[in-house]
Structure 1
Amino acid sequence: MRTVTKQISIKADSGELKYQGNIFMGKQLDYKELSEDEHIKDKSDFLRGSIKDSLKNPLTGALFPDDVKLIKYHGSYQQYDRDLESERRQKKLEPLYQFMVRVRAAGGVTSPKQWLALDELSEQYGNGTLKLTTRQSFQFHGILKRNLKPTIQKVNEVLLSTLATCGDVNRNVMCNPNPYQSHIHEEVYQFAKEISDYFLPKTTAYHEIWLDQEKVAGTPDFEPLYHQHYLPRKFKIALAIPPNNAIDVFANDLGLIAIEENNNIAGYNICVGGGLGSTFGNDATYPRLADVIGFAPKEKVIDVAETVIAIQRDYGNRSDRKLSRLKHTIDDRGLEWFVAELQNRLGWNLAKPKSYRFKSNGDEYGWLKGSNNKWFYTLFVEHGRVRDENDYQLKTALREIAKIHTGDFRLTGNQNLIIGNIEEGKKQGIDAILELYGVGNHPKLTGLRKSSMACVALNTCGLAFAEAERYLPSLIDKLEVIMKNNGLEKDEINIRMTGCPNNCARSSLGEIGFVGRAIGRYNMYLGASHNGDRLNTLYKEMLSEENILEELEPIIKAYAQDRLGEEHFGDFVIRKNIVEPTDRPIRVMN
């Protein structure tokens, strides 16, 4: 394993702290200049903190403050039900604290047995639903503190994990979700699993706290890559196979574009510096797409990835977490500096990027026969929420399918689900289950709706300013009327909504993007590309629903009348100067 460690002594009141990380922007940081999270990590004993004691504390449904930060590394966020906030405050009760738990599954693949276990946990300890995330993970919501440990234990019993789905480490590794589209897809999926396992934290804290394993005496923890203080912020990796960019490869800290030559994977184009989160009122924060810096043969890609992570570990901003992602490290020091540092540490140079072409970042729905002669059914799941609703019994249908299914389930990066590796003899039975529970054809599956995404937002996310998942379906109802009146009901326009600018549903890559500013008010962005290689641009701020419909109706009408051939909506609004193209395009180094 290649690691580069630079020790910096930082004086603290308690003595001398050996801080493993580089001087930020050429300035030696005083201990007090480090962010609160860095102090918490420093004294956490490799992510243990006082989580065990927090879980046992009967006086509150919350964890101790430091443990609220540390539990993210273990796969959970402390939240509370914001719908009940005022009522509970009036009754002098603490907020209804609850926990989101995120399950790690590289490439989003699980077995029917695992699906049934997760389904059961959502009923036993969660709010009765499963959330399929935009990073091909599962989320439980509404778990009370007393149920956290049994939930995580059960996840591990079926050979899944929640470790490192959150926190300042590499998160779930994404890839194109159907490995049997070709043997190339299978190879990329296997590589995604290898990368995911390789960059897991090595601390034994997770197994001690949640799985009751005892630490072996005399064996101190050691993180060969992350070191004692882990990364300055979260790190995301995704692998894409042209021409499909369903995982939005350029939105990641490290993107890997598979290059096929002579029907084999020759290697990967290396993309660095993607990240879509920002903060209102802070111009130093911004969405950014990754730059393409070169090509590496497949046998050297893990070495490249490890070195990219090590550079971010050593040079990332540990003072201000809003400026701590790899994109800021690159922009502060320069892309040329970053490539030079990378190649210097590697001891060899990347080759020039290979040519590639993406056509879309959406999913293809319905039946597809794989290269292994088995069947795959891509099912639309509105905003990733698996639940039963009236005549649309999605959760029950999938439970019944899992009982007879001998293949697997695959999450897409667009919050949808592929029922995978279906035997020819079981295809008809699965079709019958989908039909029985009203799931075979979504009652409102138009081009606009099936290209939509939304984050959880209210009522559980503490960062949300406005609704997203609970509101976007009704907004699409109204927009679909406009689309139908203009003959566009089958046209796929990427529409994405987030409740805040952290961009969990990648609203910056929506041809129509909405970011919540306040209850019922959204900033509207237009002009992203249909294939995920161009950000959108702010069109208007603080729009109500009435404003949104008033603004979009004439634009949609003009699109129907004046589009050029198969021109996509995002390209149309750029060509018509409705918005200017983004001022942060992707750079490709030659």
Structure 2
Amino acid sequence: MSTTEKNLSPVEHIKTRSNFLRGTIAEGLADELTGSIAEDDTQLTKFFGFYQQDDRDLRAERKASKLEPHYQFMLRLRLPAGVVTGEQYLEIDRLAHEYANGTLRLTTRQTFQYHHVAKRDLRPLLQDAYKVGVDARGACGDVNRNVMASAFPEKSAVHAEIHDWSIKLSEHLAWKSKAYEEIFLQQAPSGETDVEPIYGATYLPRKFKIAIAVPPENDVDVFANDIGLIAVVENDALVGYNVAIGGGMGSTHGEPATYPRLGSVIGFVGLDKTLETVETLVTIQRDYGDRENRKHARFKYTIDDNGIGFIHEQLDERAGIKLEPTRDYHFERNGDPIGWFQDDAGNWHVTLFIENGRIADFDENGLAHHGQYQGPANYKLMTALREIAKIHKGTIRLTGNHNVIISGIADADRADVEGVIDHYGLDDGKTKRNSALRHASMSCVAFPTCALAMAESERYLPELIGKLEDIMDKADIGDERIVIRMTGCPNGCARPFLGEIGFVGKAPGKYNLYLGAAFDGSRLNKLYRENIGEAEILAELTPLIQRWSAEREDGEHFGDFVVRTGVIAATVEGKDFHENTGSAEAA
């Protein structure tokens, strides 16, 4: 509140003078002399769902040829709870081939990402998506981003209701400026004055994330979000939510003032006050979040700086909201069960494993997109999902763990869907292609497109998992799951600090190794070894996996084992993340 205009971060000044996010984006799109847009506008285009990037594999070659970097864009769609119809999926698939690199990337926030989109194709891509009811408004930027919701409809009525809530929250918190319609849909200006009733003219200090979980599944990693809504179901009916606040994964190497944090559960709210509670929490962050230092600008720091009591006071002062005591809840895991299951209404659903979320057709050498992505040889994954979308009468749902659920399959239609799955050899839990370990792994994109990446992630994790599978097999625990997360930097896109084993890029071929998160997403991991390569990673993990196999208690997960045996300290509070780092022996 005491921040002066002089002390605002550069991004705050860009937003202030942007005329409600317009900047000079339209002029930049019209400039055919460059593949890029103006530097200030690269901050604004995030609000429209896309980031400017360049192909880092080509940087040196293009520089030597005195060419500008190979600029292109990553574009992310807004897709509440990750649900699309078959018709929408087919169009999303078509856009990948017409305007992007012929692949789709599933994100950890239940939506689709396009890569290698040329500047000239941004507008037609967004226009075509809009025709089937999909947009990219607020998929990135300093606003509420894609609202997640549990993907597993065991209780079909409750699941339908939380999907409705994801849409309600997404629409209510979407930014309202007409810039999206004017610049990308090319609609004539309405003449009305832009108003942002929730965000104001400078929006939020930093990104904001919301997720809804339905216990016992924590498939959305609800505690990793600025607001996590934990569904409370009584007599098979949704009655309200336990509210968790202040989750967030991002940190910065070498800066202990930055840290990942789990959401703190602060009470229960009934359905009649849920929307108002969420909006009020957003406005607290709007008014008290740090607008000077973007590394300190997430809601988690606002909460830790002011205290949970302050948040309760603000809820009461602003909206007269007094949360009720937290209701009982229990989570069992934070991954996806791969394979077929049936909901309480009798409909079938099948979860298909999509390694690291990359949907592509892999050739006879297991390569896709000019060799950039690797998978099983002759694995026509993209073609197979397209064929399913053509015949499936239900919905297609993305999970928060990079997988796809073919949802709402009637008994009479199961054979048709199963026939496509079998024909193309998709991993529905029946194939022997992938292990439980691989099913529980997840990575960010990293090289070659992410500007923040310090090390490989998507292109390397599959290879490392293969070596860890060998270790697991030799220890006679090849059927066990360990939640493994890898990112190319500490920004946290694949939620690495919730991995029982976490790898965070430090330099090319080097990673920080983290251990000890909980299988259900309720405990952070902690740094165990710093800046190590593959040989050291395998040397460290081999004896730990062997010990787990030999010494674990009944049903004990790997993360719980390394905490119980003193290999790593338990970490629940983000402010403790950097304390007592490493094993007892190392300390």
Same fold (TM over 0.5): yes
Which of 463, 471, 475 matches 2:460? 471
Deviation for aligned residue 1:179: 3.7
Which of 395, 400, 405 matches 2:392? 405
Could you tell me how far apart the structure 1 residues matched to 2:190 and 2:178 are?
Answer: 10
For 1:146-545, what aligned pairs fall within 5 Å after superposition? 146-179=120-153, 181-217=155-191, 219-389=192-362, 390-440=377-427, 441=430, 443-545=432-534
Which piece of structure 1 moves more, 556-565 or 174-183? 174-183
- The one-letter amino acid of 1:159's match is G
Q: What's the secondary structure of 1:294's corresponding residue?
A: strand
Could you tell me how far apart the structure 1 residues matched to 2:361 and 2:190 are?
Answer: 46
Contact 1:271 1:290 in 2 (8 A): yes
Q: What's the secondary structure of 2:274's corresponding residue?
A: helix
Could you tell me how far apart the structure 2 residues matched to 1:179 and 1:433 are?
Answer: 23
- The one-letter amino acid of 2:239's match is A
Deviation for aligned residue 1:192: 1.3
Contact 1:533 1:586 in 2 (8 A): no
Deviation for aligned residue 1:584: 1.2
Which piece of structure 1 moves more, 262-271 or 77-86? 262-271
Deviation for aligned residue 1:374: 2.1
Asked if 1:115 corresponds to 2:109, the answer is: no
Which of 35, 39, 52 matches 2:26? 52
Deviation for aligned residue 1:323: 0.4
Could you tell me how far apart the structure 1 residues matched to 2:128 and 2:94 are?
Answer: 10
CA displacement, residues 279-327 of structure 1 (integer Å, 9 cap, x when unaligned): 1111111000010001111110110000000000000000010100000
Could you tell me how far apart the structure 2 residues matched to 1:237 and 1:91 are?
Answer: 45
Asked if 1:90 corresponds to 2:32, the answer is: no
Asked if 1:141 corresponds to 2:110, the answer is: no
Contact 1:509 1:528 in 2 (8 A): yes
Q: 1:200 to 1:583 in 2, by over 3 A?
A: closer
Contact 1:179 1:188 in 2 (8 A): no
Q: What's the secondary structure of 1:341's corresponding residue?
A: helix
Q: What's the secondary structure of 1:271's corresponding residue?
A: strand
- The one-letter amino acid of 2:182's match is E
Which piece of structure 1 moves more, 130-139 or 425-434? 425-434
Could you tell me how far apart the structure 1 residues matched to 2:454 and 2:186 are?
Answer: 39
Q: What's the secondary structure of 1:223's corresponding residue?
A: coil
Contact 1:115 1:402 in 2 (8 A): yes
Deviation for aligned residue 1:143: 0.4
CA displacement, residues 427-464 of structure 1 (integer Å, 9 cap, x when unaligned): 11211111222214555321110000000000100000
CA displacement, residues 217-237 of structure 1 (integer Å, 9 cap, x when unaligned): 2x1000000010000000000
Counterpart position of 2:585 = none
Could you tell me how far apart the structure 1 residues matched to 2:559 and 2:97 are?
Answer: 41
Could you tell me how far apart the structure 1 residues matched to 2:155 and 2:128 are?
Answer: 32
Note the residue ranges of structure 1 that are not aligned, 5 or more in a row: 1-22
Could you tell me how far apart the structure 1 residues matched to 2:154 and 2:267 are?
Answer: 28
Which piece of structure 1 moves more, 345-354 or 460-469? 345-354
- The one-letter amino acid of 2:180's match is Y
Q: How many residues align?
A: 560
**Percent of aligned positions that are identical:** 49
TM-score (norm 1): 0.93
Which piece of structure 1 moves more, 365-374 or 571-580? 365-374
Which piece of structure 1 moves more, 420-429 or 550-559? 420-429
Deviation for aligned residue 1:341: 1.6
Could you tell me how far apart the structure 2 residues matched to 1:287 and 1:585 are?
Answer: 5
Could you tell me how far apart the structure 2 residues matched to 1:249 and 1:76 are?
Answer: 25
Deviation for aligned residue 1:372: 3.1
Could you tell me how far apart the structure 2 residues matched to 1:442 and 1:508 are?
Answer: 30
CA displacement, residues 457-514 of structure 1 (integer Å, 9 cap, x when unaligned): 0010000000111100000000000000111111011000000000100000000000
Contact 1:167 1:234 in 2 (8 A): yes
Counterpart position of 1:12 = none
RMSD (Å), alpha carbons: 1.3
Contact 1:174 1:413 in 2 (8 A): yes
Counterpart position of 1:14 = none
- The one-letter amino acid of 2:399's match is T
CA displacement, residues 175-196 of structure 1 (integer Å, 9 cap, x when unaligned): 1113464322221111111111
TM-score (norm 2): 0.94
Contact 1:367 1:375 in 2 (8 A): yes
Could you tell me how far apart the structure 2 residues matched to 1:477 and 1:150 are?
Answer: 40
- The one-letter amino acid of 2:270's match is P
Deviation for aligned residue 1:426: 2.1
Which of 52, 58, 66 matches 1:78? 52
Could you tell me how far apart the structure 2 residues matched to 1:62 and 1:73 are?
Answer: 17
Counterpart position of 1:16 = none
Could you tell me how far apart the structure 2 residues matched to 1:524 and 1:346 are?
Answer: 44
Could you tell me how far apart the structure 2 residues matched to 1:568 and 1:157 are?
Answer: 46
Counterpart position of 1:558 = 547
CA displacement, residues 512-536 of structure 1 (integer Å, 9 cap, x when unaligned): 0000001100000000000000000
CA displacement, residues 320-355 of structure 1 (integer Å, 9 cap, x when unaligned): 101000001011111222222222222131111111
Contact 1:391 1:437 in 2 (8 A): no
Could you tell me how far apart the structure 2 residues matched to 1:111 and 1:201 are?
Answer: 25
Counterpart position of 1:62 = 36
Contact 2:143 2:206 in 1 (8 A): yes
Q: What's the secondary structure of 1:295's corresponding residue?
A: strand
Contact 1:343 1:350 in 2 (8 A): no
Q: What's the secondary structure of 1:445's corresponding residue?
A: coil
Could you tell me how far apart the structure 2 residues matched to 1:110 and 1:263 are?
Answer: 25
Could you tell me how far apart the structure 2 residues matched to 1:411 and 1:483 are?
Answer: 29
Q: 1:314 to 1:322 in 2, by over 3 A?
A: same
